[in-house]
Amino acid sequence: MAEVGSENTANKEAGAGAGVEKTAMVVGIDESDHSFYALQWTLRHFFSIPVPLFKLVVVSAKPTPSSVVGLAGPGAADVIPFVESDLRRSSLRVIEKAKELCNLHSVSDVVYEIHEGDARNVLCEAVEKHHADMLVVGSHGYGAIKRAVLGSVSDYCAHHAHCTVMIVKKPKQHKH
């Protein structure tokens, strides 16, 4: 039905809202509440209209077992299969939860993807692959120091993604 993406900027002006071609929107999720809040917010505000403009692509990054296990030690080879299956299970759980959220908001026609690797790269690559016009990420709202130490996926994506980036923050206390 809807063709994903078009790099044709002229089309964007004319086609938005009128054409059948939908551009892709990638939403990055992980296990955190913040990213599910971001997905929910996006569903509520961008997909609750009768004819959504975007085709939703939900992307979850699965860390590689080696990045989790760390330095190879004597027992590392034995541990890796368990770590691998555990990681796979948890990323499937994440996708299941995302599916539930989408169904709750009556959004069908969603593509769910799990890619292995660092979230930063996975999301930027997904944007390229789907020729997405928009990337949505949640944000932990780390302060400057935490960000420097732990790294920030939303920061990286905001800088490096080649499309519009939306950063959705979970409000701290009350929701308005």
Partner 1 sequence: MEEVTATVVIEGAGVGPEVAEATTAEKKGFKVVVAVDDSEISHYALSWAIDYVLANRREDCQLVVLHVQHFVETFMYPVAGHAVYAPTLSIDAVRKAHEENSKRVISRAVDICKSKHVDALTAVAEGDPKDAICEAAEKLHADLLVVGSRGLGMIKRAFLGSVSDYLAHHAKCPVLIVKPPKGSHK
CA nearest to 15, candidates 4, 26, 23: 23
163 binds partner 1 per the rule CB under 8 A: yes
Binding to partner 1 in span 27-66, by CB under 8 A: 41, 45-46, 49-51, 53-54
State how far the alpha carbon of 62 is from the alpha carbons of 92, 124, 162, in Å. 9, 14, 22
Binding span for partner 1 by CB under 8 A among 70-78, 94-102, 115-123, 158-166: 158-166
State yes or no: residue 155 binds partner 1 (CB under 8 A): yes
Candidates 89, 93, 99, 162: give the one binding partner 1 (CB under 8 A): 162
Nearer to partner 1, 49 or 71 (CB): 49
Sequence-separated (6 or more) residues with CB below 8 Å from residue 50: none
Quick one: which of 40, 92, 159, 174 contacts partner 1 (CB under 8 A)? Answer: 159
Please, which residues have CB within 8 angstroms of residue 91's CB and are 6 or more apart in sequence?
60, 61, 62, 114
For residue 174, what are the CA distances in angstroms to 167, 169, 170? 18, 12, 9
Q: Which is nearer to partner 1, 36 or 46 (CB)?
A: 46
Beta-carbon neighbour count of residue 104 at 10 Å? 10
Q: Which is nearer to partner 1, 119 or 168 (CB)?
A: 168
Give me the residues that bind partner 1 (CB under 8 A), please.
7, 9, 12-13, 16-17, 23, 41, 45-46, 49-51, 53-54, 133-134, 139, 154-155, 158-169, 171, 176
